[in-house]
Structure formats: structure tokens, C-alpha cells
Structure 1
Amino acid sequence: MTAHEGTKIWTNSGDSHIMEPPDLFDSLPEDVRERLPRSVKDPSGEFETIYIDGQEFRRDLPKPKPGEKKGLGINARPADSTEDDFLNRILGGNDPAHRLKDLDGEGVWGEVIYPSLGIWTFNIRTPRVVKEGVRALNEFALDFQHKSPRFVCTASIPLIDIDDAVAEVRRASAAGFAAGFLPTRPPIGRPEWNDEEWDPLWAAFAETGMVICFHIGTEPHDPTQRTGVYYRGRGGAVLNYVETTYGGQRAVTQLIACGALDRHPELRVLVSEGGATWGPFIADRMNEGYRQHSAGVRPVLSKPPSDFLFEQVYASFQHDASAVPANWAMGWKNVMWGSDYPHFEGTFGHTQETLHELFDGVDAEVSHRIRIGAFQELFPHVPQPPGE
């Protein structure tokens, strides 16, 4: 029998989501409200259309096969028997009391909480619309966060105008946010994260102490393409899922290579739902590029790129069996677990089975660091889980 068998494992989560109420934007002026994101599901249940700022995005909806498994192994929850679980996830998505009951049952304590529909605000191209829409999203998230010290909601940031972005970081921090949510790529038409135009944003995050949080799969989209679709045909579903993970790696590489983390050693970055084993690989690859192509490297950094990644960048994973060795075998200590609650592909309903499969037999110090320690290093104001 392993050390954890028969016991409840407590963990923090570096990845979860809030479900915005349908009337969230009702109080805003009509010309703003009509351009903010809304979702319309097709009667077939096969896809939904997102309407936002005069654009339409079609997104396929998941349709599990009978008997399909969502966990790591034989203890996974059957995906075709989740109707009641789905209703529970929706309730916990925007009802704090119900959410806490779900978390207690699953053994999840503190959570980093991202928007759901609010993710689409990064596709807005009108400065006033995104500024007022983000303010409404953040007021809702802040009210939700106030319901429990276990909730770490992320503030959305308007990115069309850099002055608006900096102002919202400062306002959000003063209001009580400890984390700010950015897409893995800036809005269409805006420069990449390594561009000097974003330097005031990194300075604002450093000044406030807010954690920069990237969630994979949040790149703004071209409305002429189905969202999330890079490949069609054979293997498309797997290829598209893998493709979404690269955005977080690109964003981290840009922040390190452009010197943002060097100029602001107090900055901390979290990449959620993108796995963790990529960290050591990217660190090695950046070091090699920095060393072998040093004649063309600008700016010159104060230390190897890998040091910034290992010291200032964190990542959350969900089911990845390789993520635990990323800590003990590859030396990346900033690895944390995430549940993706209440999303369908998350671990709700089988969190304990997943945690046992991942951590049974793992060194106690490594297990604690991944489940509890890395999260609390970023968010020390969150109380300790029971028994920790």
C-alpha cells in the first residue's frame, strides 16, 4: 500500500474558471453592451457561435463518446455519465457557496480563477468597448473573490490602448486582485509581447506585485476561421489540442528574451493548463540560442535565460504524468497542479483518483511543493489547506 492510499489528498489549483452570468453586461450603455461577447449554441449541440464586436466565431462543442475516459487511468470518470456533474459544475461556476462545497468534496483548496466567456474580450478591437467590458468583468470577479480567501480571481486587462492596460492593472491591484490575466498572444494588430510598447505594462505588474497569468488557448482569432482549428482530417483533434500548448511557451520565451524579467526580477509569471515538462526544454533551447548565437543577441541578459525561467516562471498541469518528474528529475520547482474546474475536460468528479495516480509513492517534499508550495509562493495570502 502506498503512503496516500485511503487518504484524502489536499491540493491547490493553478487553473480554474468562473462562469459569468448572462446579465453581466446589462447595465452598460447599449452601444457597448451589444459589442461584448455573447454565446449562442446551435440546436444540434454540435457548435456555438460567439458574437463579439461585430465579429462571429464558430466553435465546436465537445461530444464525448460512450465509455470515454477523462482521467489518467482506470479510475477515471466515464464522460458519458456526467449530466448531473455538468449541472453541478454550472452551479459552482458562478455560485461561490456551491463552489466551495464542490472544492471540499474534491480536495481542492485555493484556486487561480480565470474568466470563461470573458476570455473572448481579447478579440475586441474597439478601445471603449474593451475598457468598459473588462471593468464589468473585473467587478464581477472581485465580488466573487470576496466570498472566500481561497479564491484568487484574475483581473482581465484591456490591451488595445497601453495606457488603459496600465491603468487597469493599477486599479485592479488597489481593489484587491493578486493576478492579472493576459492572452498568450496580444490582440490582432498589436505587437508581440517582446515589443518595447509593452514595457509600461510589465513595469505596472512589477510595481503592483500582481502575477502575470497566461492561460493556453487564448490567442485572439481570425473570425473567418473556426476557433481552435489548426488541422483538419486525420488526427485533427489531437493535433489541435497539442497546438494550443505552444502559446504559453512562446509568451514566456518572449518575456525572457526581451529582458522584461531581467529588468523586473520581482515579476512572476504563471502559465496555466499547458503542462510543465516544456519548462526545462525551453530553458535548454533558450540557453543554446543565447550562447551559440551570441553575436546577434539583443538585449544582453544579466544571466542565462534558463535562470529567469526556473526562478520567475510557474506552470500548472492537469493529468500529465511527466510533470511531477519535471520537479524532482529536471529541477524545475515551479510546477503546480490545476483542476480546470468547472470545465468539461477538467477533473471534477475524479480529482482524488487523479491526484492518487499522480502522487502516490512520490517523495513527500516533491508532492507538497507541487500540490501546495508553489501556489502559496505566488499567493501567500491564501490560507493553508487542512492538515498542511
Structure 2
Amino acid sequence: MYDAIVVGARCAGSPVGMLLAKQGYRVLVVDRSTFPSDTISTHYIQQRGLARLASWGLLDKLLATDVPRIKQMTVSYLDIVINGFADPIQGIDFTCAPRRTVLDTILVDGARAAGAEVREGYTVRELIISDGAVVGIRGGFAGGEVTEERARIVIGADGRNSFVAQAVDAEIYQRVPAECFIYYSYFSGLRTDFHSRIGAREQIGIWPTHDDRTLVAVMRKIDAFEDFRTDVEGNFHQIARTIVPEFGEELATKGKREDRFYPMRYPDNYYRQSHGDGWALVGDAGYHKDPLTGLGISDAFEYAELLAGRVHEGLSGQRPMSEALAEYQRVRDEKSHSGFEFTCAISTLELTPQLLAVFRALGSNAEYAKDFYAMIGGGMTGEEFFAPERMAKLLGAQV
């Protein structure tokens, strides 16, 4: 009998398993993948996410893999360019974009080192439900027998297509339709910091990752998907040349593509009911938004920590588990709301008149640009950044 079973061992699952194991609970973490292994991802970790790794004793392990440190960022919309970087957030003065083959392995090893039992290559086939409550799982390794494991709580950290969410029929209570698709790949021969550059109904993202590679991703509206697929490489380079001509030239003349193109046709943005009798959801299983702002990994870390704290309260008897899990969902929704709304707004690739005015002002105001990057990095909430009095000062400076 386990105290907790966690289904999914990547950016949300391993941390929640690790943190519960550190509290002395008997934890089983299962994943159908084996590690190291890759997954579709933006790779990017904000300062607040790196601060979580530091608090868990895992940041030094990540930095020891020679992941590049990013200390300069450029965001642009059409002719508006916002350069800058946030001041240190929780002691972290850089960001990075590690390969998931590296990051996820560190997280899985962290869970195992904390005392959690980790089963790789294990597929959950069924939840065990008794009197309406989830009490365990049935599953097994490829070609092996199906086994049954029981727990006081089962946590689904198994991504946007979560088996756990589907098995408990978790309701989506807020949904914003997806706007775009992405293709990305890895290139050698380039030297760059972080760029997220939006053109006319298209975007390019550029940032360094492991092994002297640069991740280059392009985004277009969904209605252009079929046309784009007819010439992926040609369209990919065309977007680079159109939005950032100097980089487009460097990509064509100096860049060498080292991998295939990875498509990302994301589902809608959503909040899903994330707790019930004997179960909870974390990471993309419970809350998902467009990858444009790259918040996914840092959110997974933050809300895995939040969930682990509330589950500890329930398991230890400090408060009823149902009450603790309800608070987890409420706090997650409150803290993530501004990022969710900003992501949904900017991922249309067509700024509202209000956001356009803000971006134009930021392009010529270094002080407020630093605050903009603090909001993105987790040092300032969206409510704080977009507070009416602050916007009045920012926009008034443009008059």
C-alpha cells in the first residue's frame, strides 16, 4: 500500500513524487517512457522555475551539464523591439532551455534519490475505483503481467492527454481555442540569446540549448497548417527571413540542421477539474496553455510543489484531503490566471489595441522593459505589471 502513486514522471510528476518522498511518504512514480527520452517541448525555464530547482538541490546538477545560461532577451512585435532582462529573481540572474533528455532524467533521478520507487516503461491500463473513490492502478511493463497497486491518492501528471483525467472524466471548466501550430528543430553553427519575434500572423523563437545547438521554432495560424506542410523547410526559412532578416541570413548560410522538424499542433488552452475523491491532477493534465510564452515547465514545478504541500496536509491528517485538494486547485487558478490570460492574448499573434500600445511604450522604456521581463520570469505578477497606475505612467511617458 502506497501513500501516493504518481502517473507520469516528467516535469510535474517527478517533483511531486520527490517532495512527498522527502516528507517520508511511500511513493510510487510510474511512466510509460524510459529515461533519458525526449518529448515535445519549448525547453524554456524561467527564473522562478530555476529557483525551484535550486531549492530542491537539482539546479547544480543541471548546470553541470553545460546548459547555456541566457542573460539577454528580445521580444518583438512587427517593428516594436523590446530588449532587456529581469533583475535577479529569488537569487537567479539567468534562464536556460535544457534538452528534455537531460532535464527529465535529472528530475527522475531526484525522485528516486529522495526515496520514491520509480518504474520506467510501465503503462497504467486502468484506475481502481471503489465506492466512487480512486484507490489504485492496474498496469504493467511491456509484455509483462498486469499488476495492481493501491494508494491513498493517485496523482495524474501524465500531460495534456492524461489517462488519469480521462478515467475520472475530469471536466474542463475554462477553454480558449488554440490559435496556432509550431514547427521546430535544432541547428549548429549559430550563436544567439533568447528571441521571441512576432511578425504578421507568424512568429519565430530562437534560444540556445545543449551541445552547442540552437532551438529554432516558427509559429503560424492554424489555417495555414496544410499549406505550410507542403514545404516545411522552405516555409521555415521564409518566416526567419521575413521577421528577422539578419538571423534568416545567418540561419541559411551558417546554420546546419541537426535533427528533423518537430510539429506541435497544440490542443486548446484549458483549466480542468483537478481533484476528486482519491485523485488529483498536476501539470498539463490539469492546466494547459499555448507554448508561446514558455510557461509550462516553470508552472509544472511551481504547482507540483503546491500540490505536494496540500497532499501532505491531507495524508498527515492536518486537514481533510478534499479540503486540501480544493485549496490546491483554487490557489493554482488564482496564481496562474494572469499568465494564462496574457498567453491566450499574445498567442493570437495579433495584439489588441491596448497591448499594442503597451508594447510600443515598452520598446522605448528600459525600466519598464525590465519589469516586463520580471513578469515573464516570475518576479512580478501580471496584475502588478498591468496595474492601472503603472500603465498610466508607462503610457503617459509616451505622450
Shorter-chain TM-score above 0.5:
no
TM-score, with length taken from structure 1: 0.24
TM-score, with length taken from structure 2: 0.24
Bigger Rg, which one = 2
